[in-house]
Amino acid sequence: MPTAQQTVTIYSTPTCHFCGAAKEFFKAHNIAYTEHDVAADIVQRKAMIEKSGQMGVPVITVGDNLVVGFDEEELRKLLNL
């Protein structure tokens, strides 16, 4: 299981298919996450771009690790699944 300090955050938009798939993956594995809708929240959009250099979503952080896109294999590794 993820360690307590391993915070999961997803930067997403409501119409993003891969964002939905990532959130379903987290729910299926009982992974708590914080979601930021970067379509509506310009402050979080700027934070996402600063962290990732990306304008595309999803951008996911697991602790200090950054995952751009829904990379299930990488997420499984980072979350010890």
Using pLDDT thresholds of 50, 70 and 90, give the confidence band for residue 24: very high
- Average pLDDT, integer, range 37-57: 96
Three-state DSSP class for residue 47: helix
Residue pLDDT, tens place only, 67-76: 999 999 999 9
Q: What is the pLDDT of residue 57?
A: 97
Evaluate whether residue 28 is within a structural domain.
yes
Q: What is the pLDDT of residue 6?
A: 81
Q: What percentage of the chain carries pLDDT values higher than 70?
A: 94
DSSP state of 31: -
CATH of the domain at 25: 3.40.30.10
Using pLDDT thresholds of 50, 70 and 90, give the confidence band for residue 5: low
Evaluate whether residue 62 is within a structural domain.
yes
Domain that holds residue 37: 8-78
Pure H helices in the chain: 17-28, 42-52, 72-78
Smallest Cα–Cα separation from 12: which of 54, 58, 75, 71? Answer: 58
Please state whether beta strands 34-37 and 8-12 pair in parallel, antiparallel, or not at all (unpaired): parallel
Amino acid identity of residue 44, one-letter, is Q
Evaluate whether residue 3 is within a structural domain.
no
Evaluate whether residue 1 is within a structural domain.
no
